[in-house]
Structure 1
Amino acid sequence: MGASYRQFCPVSKAMELLDERWTLLVVRELMLGSDHFNQLRRGLPRMSPSLLSRRLQQLARAGIVERAESGGEVRYRLTAAGEELRPVVEALGVWGTRWIPDLADPDLDPKLLLWDMHRNVDHAVVPPRRTVVAFEFMDVAPGVARWWLVMTAGDVDVCDDDPGDEPAALVRTSLRTLTEIWRGDRTWASAVGDESLRVLATGDVVSALPGWFLLSPFASVPRPVPLTHEPVH
């Protein structure tokens, strides 16, 4: 736990635990369904494994996370106290979407974007057979420019190596463009319209593809209306 604020205020007592770097993001990942260490790492790709291990230990000692081991497999889940943080994390996401909209280039991460997208696939509309969608980002280094989502019945996997299947679609775009679509900052149709996103596929897949992916849970958050300044007469 972080250094004490030496205040009796319950907000300060809560923040002694929660304002340490990465802590609330670990809680966020657990809320989104990651329950294995490697799943947590994939959702927090820039967090070192040793720091993730320390944060999980701290959260477990505080009664926020429960560690369960069965058959050599370790799972983490939120306790009742951890679940009570859900509206706090959701409110922070809404606030950040509305009031901190700017994305710097270092904020963009293809691994994190595809990981977020893979857990928001609409299985009710994707083809029932094994289906691969390839993504090629034109504005990142060649080593991290190509990614694949492999969709099967009720499951999706993220691959950074070619899975060998002929893709049903190849999406060519910039990392920023796809991130903005995912966040709800712009639409798929507008990106296709200005050719900042291109889909190479048969006509039926081109039209169906946007519906295969649900957007970020915060994509529908209303943005502030820009102030308009009336001319001074």
Structure 2
Amino acid sequence: MTTRRSYGDSCAAAHALDLVGERWALLVVRELLLGPKRFRDLRQGMPGLSGNVLSQRLRELEDVGVVRRATLGPPVGSQVYELTDWGRDLEPVLTQLGKWGGRSPLLDRDAPRSIDSVMLSQRARFSPSVAGDLNADIAVRIDNDRFAVRVGEGRLDVERAEISKPDAVIETDLPTFKDVLTHELDVDVAVASNRLQVQGRIELVRRLFDAMLVPATVQ
């Protein structure tokens, strides 16, 4: 086991930070929340992270039971990293951190973001009260990535997967999806300019993005 620094404090929050508080550790967790990834795919999602540091963080997260290695079945057969059940329990922690950090006046909203970060941010922005009785399975296709966004009973779920019979299909690129998500670009304007293609029930797509709130910046 790698040597880890510790706060030496019996508070459970302090212990949690002993486990996942090192720089980049929680971002590694973020990149695995939507499914397993190869080492090179993790690097792609965090371009500011060196290979050596990523290897160290993965070892540390494996040692404490947050991450484990797995092998994809044939014909791929690649080694991947995935979250354990306990590791996946960190999703609401990251969602709440996103809600809190999204209100910071110091947040650089033009800085690069991974596609997983953008897709997961829907959980932090989603307003059940605005969504109301919205019930929809929406396929999101961003370049070569495929996501399933499911809304129902006041809950939004996102996973890296295809939907066999979606109510609507969104096809776009990451900058456009991010702009629509943050209300910098209207859905209908994006469709009219061909930046966003929608198949199926576009009214459900409008309602989905209407339910994405922009957090108020702290004054």
**Common topology (TM > 0.5):** yes
**Contact 2:67–2:87 (8 Å) recurs in 1:** yes
Whole-angstrom CA distance in 1 between matches of 2:51 and 2:60: 14
Q: 1:82 aligns with which of 78, 83, 87?
A: 87
* Offset, 1:179: 8.1
Match of residue 163 from structure 1 = none
Counterpart residue identity of residue 40, structure 1: L
* Offset, 1:59: 0.4
* Offset, 1:60: 0.5
Q: 2:26 aligns with which of 24, 36, 40?
A: 24
Match of residue 68 from structure 1 = 70
Kindly provide the CA deviation profile for residues 139-161 of structure 1, in whole angstroms up to 9, marking residues without a partner as x. Answer: xxxxxxxxxx2579x999xxxxx
Kindly provide the CA deviation profile for residues 155-192 of structure 1, in whole angstroms up to 9, marking residues without a partner as x. Answer: 99xxxxxxxxxxxx998xxx7xx5862551x3313995
* 2:192 paired with 1:188: no
Aligned residues: 174
SS at match of 1:75: strand
Whole-angstrom CA distance in 2 between matches of 1:83 and 1:198: 35
**Contact 2:36–2:80 (8 Å) recurs in 1:** no
SS at match of 1:123: strand
**Contact 1:113–1:179 (8 Å) recurs in 2:** no
SS at match of 1:108: coil
Q: 1:68 to 1:151 in 2, by over 3 A?
A: closer
Q: 1:114 to 1:62 in 2, by over 3 A?
A: closer
Q: 1:46 to 1:199 in 2, by over 3 A?
A: farther
TM-score (structure 2 length as normaliser): 0.58
Q: Identity, % of aligned pairs?
A: 29
**Contact 1:42–1:115 (8 Å) recurs in 2:** no
Gaps of 5+ in 1: 127-132, 134-148, 157-168, 228-233
Q: 2:111 aligns with which of 104, 108, 111?
A: 108
Q: 1:64 to 1:188 in 2, by over 3 A?
A: same
Kindly provide the CA deviation profile for residues 69-90 of structure 1, in whole angstroms up to 9, marking residues without a partner as x. Answer: 3675212111122122121111
**Contact 1:2–1:20 (8 Å) recurs in 2:** no
**Contact 1:66–1:78 (8 Å) recurs in 2:** yes
Q: 1:78 to 1:181 in 2, by over 3 A?
A: same
* Offset, 1:223: 2.6
Match of residue 41 from structure 2 = 39
Whole-angstrom CA distance in 2 between matches of 1:222 and 1:117: 13
Gaps of 5+ in 2: 123-137, 149-159, 162-170
Match of residue 165 from structure 2 = none
* Offset, 1:19: 1.4
TM-score (structure 1 length as normaliser): 0.55
State the superposition RMSD in angstroms. Answer: 4.6
Counterpart residue identity of residue 46, structure 1: G
**Contact 2:68–2:83 (8 Å) recurs in 1:** yes
Kindly provide the CA deviation profile for residues 99-148 of structure 1, in whole angstroms up to 9, marking residues without a partner as x. Answer: 2255437x522xx456666899x537x7xxxxxx9xxxxxxxxxxxxxxx
Computing the radius of gyration from Cα coordinates, the structure with the larger value is 1
Q: 2:139 aligns with which of 123, 135, 138?
A: 123
